[in-house]
A and B are shown apart, each in its own frame.
Chain A
Amino acid sequence: MLKSKALVSLLAGAALMTSAAVAFAGPKIVSGPPADPACFKPWTDQTKFFQWEKKPGPYRIAIVNGFVGNTWRIQMIKTAKAFAEQPENKKDIKEFKVISTGTDVAAQLGAIEDFINQGYDAIVTIAVSPEGFDRVIKLADKNNVVLVPFDNVLDTDKVMMVNEDQKAIGKMSADWIIKQLGKKEGKILEVRGLPGNSVDRDRHVGFREVVEAPGSKFQIVEVVGNWDDGTSQKVTADAIAVHGKFDAVYQQGGTTGTVRAMMDAKHPFVPIAGEGENGYRKLVAEHAKDGLKGLSYGQSPGLVAISMKAAISALKGNVMPQLISVPIPVEDYTTLKDGVNYWSNLTDNFFTANAFPSCGVNISATEIMAKDEANSN
């Protein structure tokens, strides 16, 4: 009986009619300026501003991470915990939970929806796909939950998001490599990140826009390093074995592995634009005089702290930009300084960029490393 009725409804589904859309609450679109413009800087002049209804604190905040298993994500989780435990933030946070769902979009959507149903006030997430979150955005708005994607953001302007300009990172790296080479030709190794992510895509697109611009004659060899040292080391070694010598390298993450692969293969040092790993910066500082000219930009795991701060600020009823731009922390081989922007006494896996003075967010290297990832919430 039930079965046949369901079939009827399925068939009817084939002839869907447009229905009255359900009205949803959610943030009001207001005009600026934002609450704390030095920290919450709008992406462009056209960026909209959101304002949620003020909620009484303290708040319940959840972090729904996707992929876990590279050092960046682990440091991100440690940073989030360190931030939540700093006294000035602790007073605003009643309950704090971190979960990782893997690369499965259905699981991530389910987890976000679960926290909405549990009545959490804010959900900070790294989206595993730039598309597909329409449903949870609707539900978050309906329940007045502040959803904050950061790092891998969504292709929508309906949620508040926090990021560094990834396309600018790609362009900046390409410009820097061209400047170092002094010519617009040569063979460049491009080591990409985790496929399917918006960060990977945007950095790639920004880079390609410059190196494939008319007048440039670069030959680009593209490999996938998953933003991971081990994977990058392997694929770089393979690429060197197959293609011989490269004139420069553009790396999205896992740079320490790439440099080590080049050293192992006795590949001469060439200009390399890479991430902000401590190990990479250590190697650059050590070998710059031998020709390892390095540019090190940082997508900081500390973005999670800015995102949590933005979520709390939004819950307090402040005006917030829809897309918050965090400045790109960047250094090159001429500006590296031990104990300031890299630490020769810390592990290779540490991501160096974590201070955001304009936001009052500074979780020191030692503070994060002291945070045991296994300790309880």
Chain B
Amino acid sequence: MDNVRASGSTIWFRQNTGFAVIVVLFFVVYALYHLAHPKGFSSQVFIQNSNEVFGLAMVAMAQTVPVLMGGLDLSVGAVMTLVDCLASHLLEGSGWSLFWGIIVCLLAGTAAGLFNGIIVVYGRIQPIIATLATGAIYIGLALFLRPIPGGKINEDLNWSFTNSLGDAAETIGIFDDGKAAWFSPFAGLPTAFLLLVIVAIVVWVPFRRSVTGRTVYAIGSAEGAAYMSGLNINRAKLAAFTMAGLFSGIGGIFMAIQTSSGNADMPMAGSYTLSSIASVVIGGTSLLGGSGSAIGSIFGTLILRVISFNFRIFDIPPLLQPLFEGIVLLAAVSLGALSILRVKNQLELFR
């Protein structure tokens, strides 16, 4: 197109216009919220926001991986709910039983994801149908584990994961009860926020860079070409759904910790699944697969959430709020698609 050689950052921007717009939009709207909030820019508000975002952000990351492959996972909310109910049974004790409880919950989420993958790959069933069915199974299991809402989570675990790092350190009794000098710059950070960053860095980034991760993108772009290039398609598909299960599971554990209980809440599972798809799309991932990232989906979630944050500050009539939310979302998605206007050859749109 341009004869001038573009620099690396320009190329990045051109390829990720949607994502960049979303990030800017988020920071603008979020800054508005903080400016108008009586306790704006304080640790308490960041903590409260992080707790609210974490569960949905996990489910959105979960959804991203199958979507990149060109599929949809309708069971992410159900897996989250299942693990939430399981965690409400396993995370009541203390010490090592907590540690093993978390491991078992993570494994349960991963296994649920792997099961989805097996059905899709070896059962040769469309992901959307397969996960619709397995989602119902997982909700059924969740209801079996928690026919009525209840359960208990270790109080210290609840307190440290839903507060600042300082509070967490004090509760656990490390770093001089969180008062160590080197620790003070981080003490105000929300634990949930840090967890989100860790999951993104430790789980998503290595996966994205692995051959399997890149194969997921390749399948989304052109499955036939990926196959002809000798990539292991089945392994990548299994991995994509397994990753989705793992992320949903982390979301479920946090949900249980946050609410100190388990609740096989079907409407909520459904709304999380829907919101996860919305987050993925807002975050710039193509529903056709092949382009986007889980980091984008995190920002998609942030956009979804930050709109409702503002309802608490500014006077918007309660029954008009959903309408307003819809308009902002539509604007966000449209802004992301503005790059289409610059396309010179319409055939590029059919990639």
List residues of A whose CB falls within 8 A of some B CB: 2-3, 5-10, 12-19, 21, 62, 65, 67-68, 74, 77, 97-107, 109-111, 113-115, 117-119, 128-135, 155, 194-196, 201, 373-377
Q: Please determine whether A374 and B198 come into contact, CB atoms closer than 8 angstroms.
A: no
A26 vs chain B, min Cβ distance (A): 16
B105 vs chain A, min Cβ distance (A): 13
Q: Please determine whether B260 and A131 come into contact, CB atoms closer than 8 angstroms.
A: yes
Q: Please determine whether B317 and A376 come into contact, CB atoms closer than 8 angstroms.
A: yes
Q: How far is the CA of A374 from the CA of B198 in the complex (A)?
A: 43
* Interface residue? B38 (CB, 8 A): yes
Tell whether A103 pairs with B150 under 8 Å between CB atoms, given A109-B258, A118-B39, A132-B260.
no
Q: How far is the CA of A241 from the CA of B294 in the complex (A)?
A: 46
Q: Please determine whether B172 and A19 come into contact, CB atoms closer than 8 angstroms.
A: yes
In the complex, chain A residues whose CB is within 8 Å of the CB of B6: none
In the complex, chain A residues whose CB is within 8 Å of the CB of B261: 129, 131-132
List residues of B whose CB falls within 8 A of some A CB: 37-39, 42, 44-45, 48-49, 51-52, 54-56, 94-96, 98-99, 102, 148-151, 154-158, 160-162, 165, 168-175, 186, 194, 198, 201-202, 255, 258-268, 271-272, 275, 305, 308-309, 311-313, 315, 317-322
Tell whether A74 pairs with B319 under 8 Å between CB atoms, given A9-B168, A103-B265.
yes
Tell whether A14 pairs with B96 under 8 Å between CB atoms, given A99-B311, A103-B268.
yes
Q: Please determine whether A194 and B259 come into contact, CB atoms closer than 8 angstroms.
A: no
A374's partner among B49, B160, B174, B319 (CB-CB below 8 A) is B319
B265's partner among A13, A100, A105 (CB-CB below 8 A) is A105
Q: Please determine whether A97 and B317 come into contact, CB atoms closer than 8 angstroms.
A: no
A14's partner among B44, B48, B98 (CB-CB below 8 A) is B98
Residue of B nearest to A196 (CB): B265
Tell whether A196 pairs with B268 under 8 Å between CB atoms, given A114-B312, A129-B149, A135-B162.
yes
In the complex, chain B residues whose CB is within 8 Å of the CB of A201: 148
Residue of A nearest to B311 (CB): A99
Q: How far is the CA of A100 from the CA of B198 in the complex (A)?
A: 32
Residue of A nearest to B100 (CB): A14
In the complex, chain A residues whose CB is within 8 Å of the CB of B322: 68, 100
In the complex, chain B residues whose CB is within 8 Å of the CB of A67: 267
Q: How far is the CA of A377 from the CA of B318 in the complex (A)?
A: 9
Tell whether A118 pairs with B172 under 8 Å between CB atoms, given A16-B156, A135-B158.
no
In the complex, chain B residues whose CB is within 8 Å of the CB of A130: 149
Q: How far is the CA of A309 from the CA of B6 in the complex (A)?
A: 65
Q: Please determine whether B51 and A110 come into contact, CB atoms closer than 8 angstroms.
A: yes
In the complex, chain B residues whose CB is within 8 Å of the CB of A155: 149-150
Q: Please determine whether B318 and A9 come into contact, CB atoms closer than 8 angstroms.
A: no
B56 vs chain A, min Cβ distance (A): 7
In the complex, chain A residues whose CB is within 8 Å of the CB of B42: 117
Residue of A nearest to B167 (CB): A22
Q: Please determine whether B266 and A196 come into contact, CB atoms closer than 8 angstroms.
A: yes
A106's partner among B44, B255, B321 (CB-CB below 8 A) is B255
B52's partner among A21, A65, A106, A374 (CB-CB below 8 A) is A106
Q: Please determine whether A6 and B52 come into contact, CB atoms closer than 8 angstroms.
A: no
In the complex, chain A residues whose CB is within 8 Å of the CB of B258: 106, 109, 132, 135
In the complex, chain A residues whose CB is within 8 Å of the CB of B173: 17, 19
Q: Please determine whether A102 and B271 come into contact, CB atoms closer than 8 angstroms.
A: yes
A135's partner among B45, B255, B260 (CB-CB below 8 A) is B260
16 chain-A/chain-B pairs, Cβ below 8 angstroms: A6-B194, A16-B95, A16-B154, A16-B160, A99-B308, A102-B271, A105-B268, A106-B258, A110-B305, A110-B309, A113-B48, A114-B37, A129-B149, A134-B158, A135-B158, A373-B317
Residue of A nearest to B146 (CB): A131
Q: Please determine whether A128 and B319 come into contact, CB atoms closer than 8 angstroms.
A: no
A19's partner among B171, B175, B263 (CB-CB below 8 A) is B171
Q: How far is the CA of A377 from the CA of B186 in the complex (A)?
A: 40
Q: Please determine whether A109 and B95 come into contact, CB atoms closer than 8 angstroms.
A: no
In the complex, chain B residues whose CB is within 8 Å of the CB of A104: 56, 268, 271-272, 275
A109's partner among B45, B52, B160 (CB-CB below 8 A) is B52
